[in-house]
Amino acid sequence: MKVNYPVIGQWYSMPDGALFEVVALDPVDGAIEIQHFDGTLEELDPDDWTEMWIKKASAPEDWSGSVDVGREDFNNDDDGPLPIDWSDPLEFIDRT
């Protein structure tokens, strides 16, 4: 199925199964900015868009593709629990 008009926020899939989302449209020059599932941004001109054989797709359930988050970014047990007096984070920072 060939899609003729890009829609911001809509996900599409290429024939090889690669997913991307339209994130911006430039009304002046017609440029279409897409973001691939891995987070890579790409700008297409209208001619490139019309030559692509793509179809609408659902947003991926696994959002981690475009987010560069590693295990070290998560809170691990070594940090311990939050202090009991954590009611005002800014005040807690000032005291430490």
| β-sheet bridge partners, residue 44 | 32
Amino acid at 70: G
Per-residue pLDDT of 39-66, as tens digits, reads 899 999 999 998 888 899 998 887 665 5
Radius of gyration of the chain (CA): 21
Task: List the domains of the chain with CATH numbers.
Answer: 1-59 (2.30.30)
The secondary structure element, H or E, covering residue 21 is strand 19-25
**Quick check: 68 pLDDT over 70?**
no
42 alpha-carbon distance from chain centroid: 13
pLDDT for 87: 64
Mean pLDDT of the region 72-83? 54
Contact criterion met (CB below 8 Å) for 30 and 42: no
pTM of the model: 0.63
Question: Residues with Cβ < 8 Å from 47, sequence gap 6 or more?
Answer: none
